[in-house]
Amino acid sequence: MKTSTPDKKWFDELIIELRLRQVDGAAIGDTVASARELLADTGQDAEDAFGPARDYAASLELPRDDRGLWQGAALWSSLAGLIVFLLFTQALVPWARGEPLLFAPAQMALLGVTVLLIALLPLYLTAAIRHPWLLGLLFAIGGAAGFLSSVVAPATPDEAWLVLAAAPWLAGSAAALVLVSLGNTVRVLRRGSVDDITDPLQAPASRRKRSGLVLALVTGWLFPLFAGLMFALVTVFLR
């Protein structure tokens, strides 16, 4: 069935609301399919038949899936990946130039803002998704903090609060990036799926589900992938 534009918007909102309620993908697929079935039978608009998507999602009282990707291990491993990646990027250029790794308190505080924004994600995720301006604001704050941290980075060891040898930190952060990604891979494989929204009439081991799994596995290796790319570029141009 082709979905009209207002209905598409309604279904998009319904899926977001159910995701925010940590309803698992199979139950969301069931809800969407049964709503589509009724609309096909009655010819009604989704809003007329079911009311506002947010209210309808709440009225279904579907059970929460505690293994949700929005919380728990997924968030903390992403946060760990980000912290280690930030450390890797800080150590890379000094290592290539044969210089020590320098830190100033202001620089670390600004890097901490980005880490804090991610760590507190569960507190404001719902509000950020419902209000795109808030999401934009958070991205702007994260971007500004990242830029300012490079501005206030110390140029010489005399200006630095902390002076570290770059090579061990570079090697250590690279190893930690691989470990975090390995942990992500094990977690995704143990779970066996990425909690895709599935059509209730579709076979469980469909190609779509497998491709979703592959995508989740690749996503888990993005930090090491970018780190490798940066390492290659710096080695070519700065060494």
Residues that bind another protein in the complex, under the rule CB under 8 A: 1, 30, 33-42, 44, 48-51, 55-56, 59-63, 199-201
**Is the CA virtual torsion 161, 110, 149, 228 positive or negative?**
positive
d(CA 203, CA 196): 13
d(CA 222, CA 179): 13
Give yes or no for a contact between 196 and 208, defined as CB atoms under 8 angstroms apart: yes
Q: Shortest Cβ distance from residue 36 to another protein (Å)?
A: 5
Q: Shortest Cβ distance from residue 43 to another protein (Å)?
A: 10
The terminus-to-terminus CA distance of the chain in angstroms comes to 58
Q: Which is nearer to another protein, 25 or 220 (CB)?
A: 25
Spatial CA neighbour of 29 closest among 14, 44, 47: 14
Q: Which is nearer to another protein, 62 or 162 (CB)?
A: 62
Q: Shortest Cβ distance from residue 39 to another protein (Å)?
A: 8
At residue 113, the 3 state secondary structure works out as helix
Q: Which is nearer to another protein, 40 or 229 (CB)?
A: 40
Using the structure block, give the residue that is written with the tokens 């899936």.
65
Q: Shortest Cβ distance from residue 10 to another protein (Å)?
A: 11
Spatial CA neighbour of 56 closest among 86, 15, 85: 15
Q: Which is nearer to another protein, 9 or 187 (CB)?
A: 9
Q: Which is nearer to another protein, 39 or 110 (CB)?
A: 39
Q: Shortest Cβ distance from residue 15 to another protein (Å)?
A: 16
